[in-house]
Amino acid sequence: MTHGFSDDAVLIRRCQQGDRAAFDDLVRRHERRAYQYAFRLTSNPEEAADIVADAFIRIYNALQNFRSQSAFTTWMYRILTNCYLDLRKKEKNRQTVSLDAAVQTDGSEVERQIEDEGAGPAQEVEKMAREQAVQDAIQRLPEYQRAMLVMYHVEMLSYEQIAESLDLPLGTVKSRLNRARLSLRDLLAGNEELFQLD
Amino acid sequence: MNAQKAREFFSAYHDGTLDRALRQSFERRLKADAELEAEYREFEAVMRRLDALKNVSVDVPADLHERISAKLDKHIYESKRKATSGLGAWWKSLVLGGAACAFLVVAILAVNSFGDERVSTAGTPVVTQPPVLVEENGSLRLQFELPKRAQQTTLVVRDAISGSVLSETVLAPGAELDRPITNGGDDPALMSLEFGDGNKILVAVPGRRQAPETSGTGALTDYALALASRFKVFVRIDAINPAEKATWTFDGTDPMATKATSGDQIVSLSRVRGSLYKISL
């Protein structure tokens, strides 16, 4: 990781001197991770790609002022999260139906039935169904809770890195993450399969 | 420990970070409350499912890099294009300064509010005055006129370090608008005031704390932040390359510091063609 940190620092210095190719390299180093994070937040590939592109434009504009006091990735997560929250603000009233969204039948929610001729063993299907249920529930959380959960559990950021990314006190991050997990548990309550041991 | 309090400790207990006394109190509560214990078991299951998500792959579009590059290229092109047209010329002479107060207020006054409005004989309004800074009750107001034929434009105030938008305001000719831009933090902030025509003003805004440092080395932006923090003034950075290196010592010989302490309202840090100079009203 230290090696990666210094690689970023070298690229950033070159970018700050006007080297556009260096910025291109910087994007290539981080775009996959950025996209995966954005996709986890949105579950929408188009939105995720837009968020990543907008984030790298902001990074390009602000890179002159970046002082490398924190890791570039920490700063990148902050900008990605801000782009995501800005997008949500703009699209607050837009309603779209995703193929991955649950539909309601008879008062209970089930997944859309998508024929999959290549379905694996029953356990694999069950595992995928559980994963989908958790991802759907995460999408129903408030944006800020969603971002924190993804940062911690998927992107593997520490509490301290999340605090730095979101510019929040450490204690606030911990309590909000706890609240997010409790909310998720409430959303998933009643899904008996989820709480079965593997 | 009641059930509600115990729930606040679910994550800490799972992480193993509760101190001994709290952990024992928590465990006693779980033992005594079957419903709470069932909730905690479900919480643990949720944690396992969350941790498993990192193993779920996400397909990254094959053309992601091209999409990012295309959008960035378009942004750079449009920024350069806008820089050569629109309201550009007006802002070259615009400077911002500040007193002890950390408010920057943007106001647009109708053409008629300027006392010496001039109208061409053809009846087409012309710009009557260059942009004006007015101090009022410790606040700063930026006043300017848009020709009546101008389109409405948008002022975006952005944190120049993180890129996050702090406020966004539509500016229309004839309308009056007051929008304070404050820095509530202890440290100075770098803010970018971006106008819809592509013009941008980079300004260091002082925070609550006065910096004790009297010397430093860094970029022009760092110099501006140091001035803002030390002397509690706004400092506009007008340079082709704000990252250009600078060294400063506030020992009575620094010309910018002299300006900042002289009572002048305007402090502008500029470097054009290699020369560092200041502009003031």
Q: Does B161 touch chain A (CB under 8 A)?
A: yes
DSSP state of A154: I
What are residue A129's phi and psi, to 5 degrees?
-65, -40
Q: Say which range, A128-137, A150-159, B37-46, has the weakest mean pLDDT.
A: A128-137
Residue A68 has pLDDT above 80, yes or no: no
Distance CA A148, CA A170 (A): 12
Neighbours of A197 (CB within 10 A): 7
Mean pLDDT computed over B110-119: 30
Identify the band that residue B243 occupies on the pLDDT scale cut at 50, 70 and 90: confident
Contacts of B192 in chain A (CB under 8 A): 61
Identify the band that residue A115 occupies on the pLDDT scale cut at 50, 70 and 90: very low
pLDDT at A81: 94
Distance CA B226, CA B215 (A): 8
Contact A195 B41 (CB under 8 A): yes
- Complex confidence, ipTM: 0.77
Residue B121 has pLDDT above 60, yes or no: no
**Minimal CA–CA distance to B138: which of B68, B233, B229?**
B233
**Helix, strand or coil for residue B140?**
strand
Mean pLDDT computed over B126-155: 51
Distance CA A52, CA A55 (A): 5
Residue B106 has pLDDT above 80, yes or no: no
- Higher pLDDT pick, A51 / B135: A51
Distance CA A163, CA A165 (A): 6
Contacts of A75 in chain B (CB under 8 A): 162
Q: Could you report the per-residue pLDDT of B264-276, keeping only the tens digit for each?
A: 444 555 543 333 3
Specify whether the backbone of A167 is left (phi greater than 0), alpha (psi in -120 to 50) or beta.
left
Q: Could you report the per-residue pLDDT of B206-217, keeping only the tens digit for each?
A: 777 777 777 888
Mean pLDDT computed over A147-161: 94
**Joined tokens for residue B10:** 């679910």
A vs B, Cβ pairs < 8 A, gives 132
User: Is this prediction's pTM over 0.90?
Assistant: no
- Higher pLDDT pick, A128 / B22: B22
Residue B29 has pLDDT above 70, yes or no: yes
Q: Does B75 touch chain A (CB under 8 A)?
A: yes
Q: Say which range, B56-60, B109-113, B215-219, has the weakest mean pLDDT.
A: B109-113
Mean pLDDT of chain A: 81
pLDDT at B260: 59
- Is residue B20 packed enough to be buried (19+ CB in 10 Å), middle (13-18) or exposed (0-12)? exposed
Mean pLDDT computed over B27-39: 93
Contact A53 B68 (CB under 8 A): yes
Identify the band that residue B19 occupies on the pLDDT scale cut at 50, 70 and 90: very high
Contacts of A64 in chain B (CB under 8 A): 219, 221, 241-243
Range among A94-108, B55-69, B96-110 rated most confident: B55-69
